Amino acid sequence: MKEPPEESIKSVQYDLFTQFLSNNKNDVSNMVEVWESIPKYFFTPRQISKLRTEGGLAEPYKWNFSYNDSPCTVKIQPALIEQENGKYKAFFPSVTEELVEEALKKIFTDQQFGIHNPQKTESWVRFTLGMIQKELKNRGRSRDKKQIKHAIEVMSSCVITLYKEEKEIWKGSLLQDLVSVNRHDYLADTNSQHIARLPIFISHSVNKLEYRQFNYERLMSCNEQLTRWIYKQLINRFKQANLMNTYHFMYSKVYRDSGLLQQKTEDKNRQKVRSSLTELIDRGVIANFTEDIRKEGRKIVDVKYTVSPTTNFVSEQKAANKRCKDGKTKALSVGIQIDS
C-alpha cells in the first residue's frame, strides 16, 4: 500500500489539468478516454442478485469489449462487505459508484483537494463523504451518506483486471490505497477527510495531457447510464463536430462495448438505444438522429445510428480542442515532454 503525500506537490501538468476553457468552470470536468472505455458499471441490482450464491458471495465476472479495434476483456472481482449479521456479501460496482467516481474526479480538479506527483505518476484526491453528498445533490443525483459510504467501500475493495489481446495489462481497484487522513473511525465520521489514489490511467493522462474537457453538468443531468455512455463516446470521438457534419456508430458496438444492453430481447435493447438518443436531444447534445436498419432476410442484424450535433455541443467541442492545443503548447514551452 502506497502512502499519500503529506503536502501538495508543484506540478505544471496538474496545473494544466485544473485550468478549464469555459465561462463556467464549475460545470466542466475532464474525461480520460482509455479509462472511460473500460466497462465497469453495467451491473443492475437484479443482475447482481443472480450472480450471488445462496450465501451471498459471487465469483468474478468477465466482459469482452474492444478499444481502438483491439479485443479486450475486463474481469471484475466483487467487493466482499461485512453485513450487520457478521456475514459477508458480494457487491459489484453499479450506477451509484459510477456517479461517485464522476463526483470525485470533479473534486480532484480543485487544487485544494487534488495532489499529483508527475515523477511517480500518482494522483490523489482528498474528500469527505459530506463533500461527495453535496456534489451529487448539486447535480441532481442525490445519495444519502450511507449509500455514498457503501459506494466508496465497493470502489476500494473490488478488483478490476484488464486484459488486452488476452494479456493482463493492469490490475487494481477503482479507488486505491484508501486511508482516513486522521487515522480513526475509518469511513465512519462523514466529516473526516479521506484520501485515495486514482487509477494509473488517470495519473498517466495528467502527465501526458491525454484528457478532454467536457460539460460535466450535462453529463450528470442524464438519467440513463446508456445515455451517459453514448455522450462520452461523442465527446471523445466526435472531436471535429460542426453543424455541417454528422457522426455515426453501430448498434453492435454499443452492445459489445458498453455492457449496458442486457434487456430480455434485442428489440428492447434497440428501444433502449433509441430512448438514450432521445434523451441526448432533450439534453441539448444532439439535434436529431436517424436509424439505418441492416437486415439479413427478415432478421435485423445491426443498426447504424447517425447523429447531428447541436450548436452547444459544437461550441463545447471547439473549446475542448483549443484547450488541448493550448495546454500542449504551454507544456512544451516549459520543457515537459508529452509524447505517449
Q: Which residue has the cell 453535496?
A: 134
Look up the pTM and report it.
Answer: 0.94
The model's pLDDT over 1-34, given as tens digits with 9 standing for 90+, comes to 788 887 788 899 999 999 999 999 999 999 999 9
* pLDDT at 237 > cutoff 70: yes
- The stretch 205-233 carries a mean pLDDT of 97
Question: Can you tell me the distance from the alpha carbon of 153 to that of 188, in angstroms, rounded to the nearest whole number?
Answer: 11
Output the CA torsion sign for 143, 149, 151, 152: positive
Between CA 139 and CA 145, with CA 143 as vertex, the angle to 5 degrees is 125
Q: Which of 243, 312, 238 is nearest to 24 (CA)?
A: 312
pLDDT at 187: 57
The CA distance from 14 to 209, in Å, is 9
pLDDT at residue 19, as a whole number: 96
Would the pLDDT of 42 be above 90?
yes
Domain positions in the chain are 35-212, 222-309
pLDDT of residue 223 exceeding 90, the answer is: yes
- H/E stretch holding 126: strand 122-127
CATH of domain 222-309: 1.10.10.10
Least reliable range by pLDDT among 122-131, 189-198, 313-322: 189-198
Q: What is the pLDDT of residues 90-134, one digit of tens each?
A: 999 999 999 999 999 999 999 999 999 999 999 999 999 999 999
How confident is the model at residue 189, as a pLDDT? 65
Q: Is the pLDDT of residue 184 over 60?
A: no
Strands 247-250 and 28-31: unpaired
Identify the band that residue 188 occupies on the pLDDT scale cut at 50, 70 and 90.
low
